[in-house]
C-alpha cells in the first residue's frame, strides 16, 4: 500500500483508540505499538521526553534503546533544538548521531509539543534500510504527534 494511504488508515484507527483516554503516556504507547506493527520499514519507533533538560526514553517498540541521550548530541536533540522534523537518509553521515543499535541506517525525528506550545520531546523512528523516510512520513508523523495532547 502507498505510504500516505497507510498513514491515513493508522490515523483513523488512532482517533478511535484515543477516545478511550487523554493520557499522553497511554497515547504514546499506543502510537508506538500501532506504527511499529503496521509499517514494515519501521525498525524502532518511540519517544524521547524532555525531563530536567535531559532526553529520557519514553514508550517505544523495537530493540532495546538508550535510556538517556548524551546532552545536545544526535538527531533527537537536533529535533528539540530546531523544533521541526529532521530526516536523516544515512545516519552514518549525520555528525554525532547516537547509535543505540548498530543496525539503524536511516531515521526521522519529529517534535512533540504540549497544548501550551512548549517542546515536550520528540517522536523518533529508525529503519534498518537507508533513506526510508521522506516528506510524507514527516507530514503524517507531525499529525500523529499533535494528536498526543488533543482532547477527545
Ligand atoms: N539515533 C538517535 C538516538 C535514539 S535511537 O535512534 C532509538 C539520536 O541520534 O538522537
Q: pLDDT band at 35, cuts 50/70/90?
A: very high
Total residues found in the chain within this entry:
152
Mean of the per-residue pLDDT values for the chain?
97
The pick from 50, 70, 75 for probing ligand 1's pocket by mutation, whose C-beta has the most ligand atoms within 8 angstroms, reads 75
As given in the structure block, the three cell numbers for residue 25 are: 503516556
Average the pLDDT over 108-126 and give the result.
Answer: 98
Q: How far is the CA of 151 from the centre of ligand 1 (A)?
A: 29
Percent of the chain surpassing pLDDT 70 = 100
Domains of the chain, each with CATH number or no CATH: 3-147 (3.30.450.40)
Specify the residue for cell string 502510537.
31
* Nearest CA among 109, 101, 115, 103 for reference residue 148: 115
Specify the residue for cell string 545516519.
91
Backbone angles phi, psi at 123, to 5 degrees: -95, 135
Q: Report the distance separating Cα 127 and Cα 134, nearest Å.
A: 12
Position 19 scores a pLDDT of 97
Decide: 76 in ligand 1 pocket, CB within 6 A.
yes
Average the pLDDT over 113-126 and give the result.
Answer: 97
Position 91 scores a pLDDT of 97
Q: Are 126 and 62 in contact (CB under 8 A)?
A: yes
Specify the residue for cell string 548498530.
102
Q: Are 50 and 120 in contact (CB under 8 A)?
A: yes
- Going through the chain in order, the beta strands assigned E by DSSP cover 44-51, 54-61, 68-69, 86-88, 106-113, 119-127
Q: How far is the CA of 68 from the centre of ligand 1 (A)?
A: 10
**Which atom of ligand 1 is found nearest the CA of 77?**
10
Enter the pTM of the model.
0.97
- Give the CA diameter of the chain: 42
Q: How far is the CA of 80 from the centre of ligand 1 (A)?
A: 12
Q: pLDDT band at 152, cuts 50/70/90?
A: confident
**Which atom of ligand 1 is found nearest the CA of 94?**
9
Q: How far is the CA of 76 from the centre of ligand 1 (A)?
A: 6
Residue-wise pLDDT tens digits, 56-113? 999 999 999 999 999 999 999 999 999 999 999 999 999 899 999 999 999 999 999 9
Position 1 scores a pLDDT of 84
Amino acid at each position: 500500500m502507498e505510504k500516505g494511504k497507510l498513514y491515513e488508515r493508522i490515523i483513523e484507527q488512532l482517533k478511535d483508540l484515543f477516545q478511550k483516554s487523554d493520557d499522553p503516556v497511554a497515547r504514546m504507547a499506543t502510537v508506538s505499538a500501532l506504527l511499529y506493527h503496521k509499517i514494515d520499514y519501521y525498525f524502532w519507533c518511540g519517544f524521547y521526553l524532555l525531563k530536567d533538560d535531559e532526553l529520557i526514553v519514553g514508550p517505544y517498540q523495537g530493540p532495546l534503546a538508550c535510556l538517556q541521550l548524551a546532552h545536545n548530541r544526535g538527531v533527537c536533540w537536533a529535533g528539540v533544538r530546531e523544533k521541526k522534523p529532521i530526516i536523516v537518509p544515512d545516519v552514518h553521515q549525520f555528525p554525532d548521531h547516537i547509535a543505540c543499535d548498530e543496525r539503524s541506517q536511516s531515521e526521522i525525528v519529529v517534535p512533540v509539543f504540549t497544548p501550551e506550545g512548549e517542546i515536550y520531546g520528540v517522536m523518533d523512528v529508525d529503519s534498518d534500510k537507508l533513506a526510508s523516510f521522506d516528506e510524507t512520513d514527516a507530514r503524517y508523523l507531525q499529525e500523529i504527534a499533535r494528536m498526543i495532547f488533543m482532547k477527545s
